[in-house]
Chains A and B, each alone.
Chain A
Amino acid sequence: MENSERLDKYLRGAMDAEEKAGFEAQLAKDAELAKALELQRDMELFLRRNTQREALKKQLPAIGKDYFQTAQGAKVITMPRQRRLFLAAASLAAAIALFFMVRWALSPSLFESYAQYPPLALTEKSAGADWSQAETAFNSNNYAEAERLLTQYTAEYPSDRQAALYLGICNMETGKIEEAQTAFRNFTPEETDFKDFADWYLALSYLKAGDKTGCRQALQQLSPNSPFQQKATDLLQKL
């Protein structure tokens, strides 16, 4: 049995008394094994609390800003009337700016406002296995799960170009921009049903990555007959 399996078995409490005693005796004299056990414990700890750890990492800065301030103990000084008026005007301007910033922050991003996809309907094509889970995942915007299932699906049905297109969308939505772009570029002009979609999504992938220049170039290369021409014109103006 390999060390990894023995360590795992030991930490799971799955060794019988004799095996455990033997293992602990070996631990006492084998520094490398003890080190490996410590690492295995840390790995398991990481896996158990990783989600909570990441949440705490995000929680602390939000709390911290209430307790670390530069202007602590500032004195109150009466200001001349002109200065008070100026500050009141400045505060009003700041409040208006803040209002628009909050509105901007709450509004969907440019990418989100264009990233709309026709529902995925794979079951029409599948003969054996039930791939409806992939459809459900994609159509409910659970792109990570849809990506996992579509990866399996495309391995089984490599010639299904619709699935390949939607897998590219999942790659894009989960931030794997290079994979997505490779998938979209793989469509040839002969694949008339999908080419215009793939070209449009290629442009969106640049937008998702924050590459406005790439997005503009991809939009300008859309076919003149593309059904996305109007959207492309709108998006180019906003860029």
Chain B
Amino acid sequence: MKRILRRHLSSALVVSVILGIVFIAARPEAEQSAPIPESVRLLQELDLNTQDAFQKQLYLDMASALTGDSAKYKQLWQRLVLTETQQAGLTKSQLRQKMANRRSVPVLFLMYVKFILIYLVVMALTYYGVQTLGAYLFLRYKQQNPPDVYRFLFALRRLISEPEWQTAKRLGAIGIKMLCKAMLYLLLFTPAYVIAYSIKTDFDTESVPFMILLGVISNGVLITYSNKFYHFLLNESRKGYVRTAIVKNLNNDYSICKKRGIRWRSLLALRKKFPGHVLEHIFMNARFQYFATLKEQAAFIITGLLIIEMALNIHGHLSYELLQQLLYQNYDLAALIILGIFLIVKATELVTDLAIFKEQKRLGSS
């Protein structure tokens, strides 16, 4: 356990130090980040050439003659020279944009908290969705039903040879099912920005619940990890202990909603339990393997959320700000946001590793 903690914390510390240095080094000078004083701004509007000695002398003479306080105006001139030197590398409009797009650290922190909350909800929903969908796919596989296309063709053949209303209805039902399945599959693989743009006119695509929904169903997150879980279940079901359990008369009826089979309630439950069924053991072992992929899944979910926020230009969200800070070359703030995101991934990795360690200890294999 100490080793796990040391590994993750040292990594987080090193990256924090590096990005912290970037944050400090890339931070604009205090004078530059602070708003330009009104007096200097007015002086800038006169479009004076600070390099011209004649203009400088004329300015100082006028200040002395009109106000009698030459020291104050000399200081103001020096400030003007400093400001213009700082702005030398940037055009006026670029600087204005750069400064206007800077966000204070507390504002970024609030965005960060919002991002974490959204991430946690998406993670929890995906965790549940992956196990439910994966188990459902596994049950469908075990039921050994013929492919839908085959069933459709079979019903069509029967309808042609013996036209009956019942057969036509069955054919229609299979056709609709196939269509819905194809649409659902395409939806699960569609990148979030395509879904969001296609329904932008009818829904508020910038709301948090919509973002959560997109985070769960789009970008292939749910289907990819459900499929992984399904393969864990499949590999587990081929192991010797499962065959032994079946030989010893443990229930292995994989039909859904039958007396001896699996109930919908068990399948859809938050904590899935299948007492007296061989699936209980297959599921427990597959879930243990799935824990290890949670780290990868976390990074994938974060990638998905970043894509959603950036691609949809959702103002006031962390990823949109990251893109804006990169665009206006505020690299200090960009480094700070990246550090925050890195720490979320690291925290997830740490929690996952600790959970695996705990589970291994419980099973006595540590």
Q: Do A and B come from one complex?
A: no
**Could you tell me which A residues sit within 8 Å of B by CB distance?**
none
**Could you tell me which B residues sit within 8 Å of A by CB distance?**
none
